[in-house]
Structure 1
Amino acid sequence: MPGEVLNAWARIRKNLRESAGARLFEQWLKPIELDDSDDETTVRLTLPSAFTANWVRNHYQDRLVQEFRAAIPAIRTVSIEVRQASAPAVLRIASDEPAEAPAAPVEAAERPTLDPRLTFERFVVDPSNRVAFNAARALAEPGVPRFSPLFLHSGTGLGKTHLMHAIGHAYLAAVPDARVFLMSAERFMFEFVAAIRANDTHAFKTRLRGADLLMIDDLHFISGKKPTQDEFFHTINELTAAGKRLVITADRHPQGLDDVEARIVSRLAMGLVADIKTPDATLRRALLDHRLGELPEVKVPEDVLELLAHKVTGSLREVEGALNRLVAYAQLTGEEINLEFAQATLGDVLRGGTKRITIDEIQRAVSAHYDLKPVDLVSARRAVVVARPRQIAMYLAKRLTTRSLPEIGRKFGGRDHSTVIHAVRRIEELRGSDNEIDGAVRSLIRQLEG
């Protein structure tokens, strides 16, 4: 390990101790250890558990990157990982280090660890992401790929990168000797430009075009970069022609990529294009339950989980971050997690995602969706064209407002609370078996929460 990195880490630890305070430093930052890295632009830090590593990533990753870059300008990445007794599955990605055999024309592959959190087992699946998940699983299977490339698109923090790492985990587990490359489109551009300046594009091309699985994240970053797009097109052309696996992610559909050449868009569209939709409260709650299942010692009450699922309405990353923050503060203060503690701890997060939804708004939205008049939902009409939308509106009122069952019943023509209970249960059942109703409910929730 270079002495320069060791000296920098000693100074950074001192700064962290002074700025974080003794209790926080002892609990979360002191266990960090500096580990060896084969890449001189990357610093590897390890912690004893996935939970502590996740907390440090969420709260200190940006700070650590800034500190190391200030001390050593060549540092580009700080990797925060879990210490493991045995070597974990790894990705092989491009490196500037020479190969073991000096005369070899192709550079050796670096072997950084995959993020241990980002596996298929930890990906929470629901209708908003099921196609993307199943496509990723299929592409990770050994043998002749059913399709390639796979193009995943969604907003930030909804699971594109998670699925990429999961593909890497699964494919390397099935084919340990495979050549797998994972890089951002920005890194692809940076390395290609560096190769041009060094008059060594042959090595760059040979390395990537020899991949069994190539994964490029955030393709939208190469918009308008013609030389990089030319090289990218020829790379994906050779890989797909050779029957190799290719995974691309972006924040929009290929047809919506500004200043990306038509031939690239056409080539990407020849594979499978899968989107990940904005999560609703059901998926956010499922994610919280899944994460808590990994932390059996942590107890979070039902009303707190409902609060997080309905009020933290950004990306899934933000939902998970809110849970991590809540658990961390409870451990640091020794307080019990309850609704009052959650509201005090996450006040800024909850205020940012709060939109007060009324039953009147729900009735107007449902009426418009089904081409009815709001008065129809409070009438005595029992025809299915009115009764089913009325049940959906009652279900949404229970899900999206704090009104009691009797209050909801009164807003729907003075109906009894048992009628509301029946409506909620019926729509829950239908959402599991009727795609049309489930889609309508999801659309209405997005409209009302948005």
Structure 2
Amino acid sequence: MTIVDREIVSALLDALAGKIGKERFDLWFGDGSLWNIQDSTLRIRARDAFRLDRVRGFRRDIQEVCEMVIGRSLELSFAVATDDEVGSTADHFTAKLATKQDGPQTATEVSSPNTVRAAERSAKLKSGRKYRDLSSMVVGDSNRMAVASAERILRCPGEASPFLLYGPSGSGKTHLLDAIRGEARRRGLRRVVLQTAEQFTSSFVEAIQGSGLPSFRSKYRDVSVLILDDVQFFAGKRATLVELQHTLDSLIRDGRQIVLSSDRPPAQLSAIPQELRTRLAGGLVADISTPDFAMRCEMLERSTCSLVLSSSVKRLIAELATGDARRLAGAVHRLEVASEAYHCDVTLEFAERMLRDLFQAHQRVIGLRDIEDAVCEAFGVDKNCLRSSRRDRVATHPRMLAMWLARKHTRAGLAEIGRFFGKRSHSTVISADKKVQSMVGSGSCFETLQGPCHVEDAIARIERRLQAS
């Protein structure tokens, strides 16, 4: 590979570790998997067939990282590494180089300023993850409650257990969980374990198949703090859910602290048994949303990137990289590689040119069908009910809200909105819009199948789903 290709692969690895989490990255890619770019194909070689199957499962994440870093997708080629490929370092980039390697480099790598900068970036990134604590959090309106809750459980471990943190992808849940782990260790808590739901499930399956349940239970129950990320992925795994419930009961009984994260609140985890959902809601629940403009600016100020960016360029990135906070890192990675590839400083004009197509590709227009799906999920009704002629509140309240949201988030006209939601007239849409505005002003409640729901809570829940999608 050329030096530029190696630099691109280094940036891809850094971005992938940030996207899927360091624990998962180290588990499946940190074993020395080989990465190589040939023309428009990214070739990934795993050490064995078992790891190859797991690595293939990250295809979508790798494609998204490619779009974030270089602005386009690459063809992906997966295979088990041959002996010749394992022995060659000239044509392949080892994942360890980007995340773990501390030993000597080859002469080519030492002499290349691009590779030195990549190594510095990786060392800083690794250091930042290892020693992260609550002081590393950028606090704003979107996460103030979540950070305050984290401080509370660390002051009094076990008093509010479990602590469930929920919010859309890219809102900073994993970052906060990592900070809780670091802060707990800094405060001297004996044993702190952070795992994803996938890792917990894999460990449980391995224990059943041979390694033994006693060692598995010792790992997850003999702890001061157990942190599990993305618990929504336990849905449908019956045996794992039973084991998880017993694990939570054991830890709560012993006064230990449990910290969990999910992409939705407990009441919406419909694929998880009610008894377990009750336990999740029985401690402390806090929501977190994607960072606002001021927070994104502060994140860029605190960035460990070696690239010097002017305030105007940082403001541009913060304005463009809305939604998922990972897009900030993706934009910075792209500018860093572009600066090295074109041998120039990053001016405002250069940044606009390099980022324009990247963020145009990420923009997604919300449509009437998106509104319909989000409202039906939030209220527990089907589309036929939303478009029917029913006049009871269980049908009319979600229908009114859907029309109000369509007016707010889409460019559809009154007549188009009316036709979509049951062939209604434009005057019906106007009336629905006014009624919802009045309900927002008076703090009224909607009637749902689950009972009354505050109008602002319903709107916030649906808009979070629209944002996440």
The two structures share one fold, judged by TM-score above 0.5: yes
Match of 1:198 among 198, 207, 210: 210
Task: Give the partner amino acid of 1:149.
Answer: P
Distance 1:40 1:120 in 2: 23
The verdict on how the C-alpha distance between 1:74 and 1:172 changes in structure 2, with shifts beyond 3 A counting, is: farther
- Please give the residue correspondences for 1:352-431 in structure 2 after superposition, counting only pairs within 5 Å: 352=361
Per-residue deviation, 1:283 = 2.0
Residue 405 of structure 2 aligns with which residue?
Answer: none
1:214–1:247 CA contact under 8 A, matched in 2: yes
Match of 2:241 among 226, 229, 237: 229
The verdict on how the C-alpha distance between 1:186 and 1:129 changes in structure 2, with shifts beyond 3 A counting, is: same
Match of 2:177 among 164, 167, 175: 164
Match of 2:143 among 116, 129, 146: 129
Distance 2:102 2:182 in 1: 16
Task: Give the partner amino acid of 1:173.
Answer: R
The verdict on how the C-alpha distance between 1:256 and 1:69 changes in structure 2, with shifts beyond 3 A counting, is: farther
Per-residue deviation, 1:260 = 0.2
TM-score of the pair, normalised by structure 2: 0.54
Per-residue deviation, 1:269 = 0.7
Per-residue deviation, 1:151 = 0.5
Rg larger in structure? 1
Task: Give the partner amino acid of 1:331.
Answer: E
After superposition, give the CA deviation of every residue in 1:387-435 in whole Å (9 maximum; x if it has no partner): xxxxxxxxxxxxxxxxxxxxxxxxxxxxxxxxxxxxxxxxxxxxxxxxx
The verdict on how the C-alpha distance between 1:233 and 1:27 changes in structure 2, with shifts beyond 3 A counting, is: closer
Residue 305 of structure 1 aligns with which residue?
Answer: 314
After superposition, give the CA deviation of every residue in 1:287-317 in whole Å (9 maximum; x if it has no partner): 22222xx45x643233322222222213111
Per-residue deviation, 1:113 = 9.1
1:41–1:76 CA contact under 8 A, matched in 2: no
Distance 1:164 1:131 in 2: 14
Distance 1:81 1:216 in 2: 23
- Please give the residue correspondences for 1:25-424 in structure 2 after superposition, counting only pairs within 5 Å: 25=6, 44=30, 66-69=44-47, 73=51, 81=99, 115-116=129-130, 118-141=132-155, 144-175=157-188, 178-198=190-210, 200-291=212-303, 294-295=304-305, 298-352=307-361
1:132–1:274 CA contact under 8 A, matched in 2: yes
Distance 1:171 1:257 in 2: 28
2:181–2:192 CA contact under 8 A, matched in 1: yes
Distance 1:22 1:273 in 2: 48
Per-residue deviation, 1:81 = 3.5
* Unpaired stretches in structure 2, ≥5 consecutive residues: 14-22, 36-41, 56-94, 104-125, 366-455
The verdict on how the C-alpha distance between 1:124 and 1:69 changes in structure 2, with shifts beyond 3 A counting, is: farther
Distance 2:358 2:131 in 1: 24
1:24–1:332 CA contact under 8 A, matched in 2: no
Task: Give the partner amino acid of 1:120.
Answer: L
- Please give the residue correspondences for 1:429-440 in structure 2 after superposition, counting only pairs within 5 Å: none
Distance 2:299 2:27 in 1: 34
Distance 1:44 1:193 in 2: 22
Residue 76 of structure 2 aligns with which residue?
Answer: none
1:41–1:75 CA contact under 8 A, matched in 2: no
TM-score of the pair, normalised by structure 1: 0.56
Distance 1:209 1:26 in 2: 42
Aligned with 2:151: secondary structure? helix
The verdict on how the C-alpha distance between 1:28 and 1:122 changes in structure 2, with shifts beyond 3 A counting, is: farther
After superposition, give the CA deviation of every residue in 1:65-84 in whole Å (9 maximum; x if it has no partner): x4225677379686753667
Per-residue deviation, 1:217 = 0.9
Distance 1:355 1:227 in 2: 38
Aligned with 2:291: secondary structure? coil
Aligned with 1:67: secondary structure? strand
After superposition, give the CA deviation of every residue in 1:168-193 in whole Å (9 maximum; x if it has no partner): 111112226x2222211122122212
Per-residue deviation, 1:254 = 1.0
The verdict on how the C-alpha distance between 1:45 and 1:345 changes in structure 2, with shifts beyond 3 A counting, is: farther
Per-residue deviation, 1:127 = 1.1
Task: Give the partner amino acid of 2:3.
Answer: A
The verdict on how the C-alpha distance between 1:332 and 1:156 changes in structure 2, with shifts beyond 3 A counting, is: same
Aligned with 2:193: secondary structure? strand
Aligned with 1:248: secondary structure? strand
The verdict on how the C-alpha distance between 1:120 and 1:324 changes in structure 2, with shifts beyond 3 A counting, is: farther
2:158–2:258 CA contact under 8 A, matched in 1: no
2:193–2:220 CA contact under 8 A, matched in 1: yes
The verdict on how the C-alpha distance between 1:22 and 1:278 changes in structure 2, with shifts beyond 3 A counting, is: closer
1:42–1:75 CA contact under 8 A, matched in 2: no
Aligned with 2:45: secondary structure? helix
1:183–1:215 CA contact under 8 A, matched in 2: yes
1:40–1:75 CA contact under 8 A, matched in 2: no
Aligned with 2:271: secondary structure? coil
Distance 2:257 2:170 in 1: 24
Per-residue deviation, 1:239 = 0.3
The verdict on how the C-alpha distance between 1:113 and 1:201 changes in structure 2, with shifts beyond 3 A counting, is: farther
Aligned with 2:51: secondary structure? coil
Distance 2:10 2:362 in 1: 30
Distance 2:99 2:47 in 1: 19
Aligned with 1:215: secondary structure? strand
Bigger relative contact order (CA 8 A; separation at least 6): 2
* Unpaired stretches in structure 1, ≥5 consecutive residues: 1-16, 47-55, 57-62, 86-111, 357-438
Per-residue deviation, 1:154 = 1.1
Task: Give the partner amino acid of 2:143.
Answer: N
Per-residue deviation, 1:252 = 0.6
After superposition, give the CA deviation of every residue in 1:232-258 in whole Å (9 maximum; x if it has no partner): 001001101111011111111111112
Distance 2:328 2:128 in 1: 23
Distance 1:228 1:166 in 2: 27
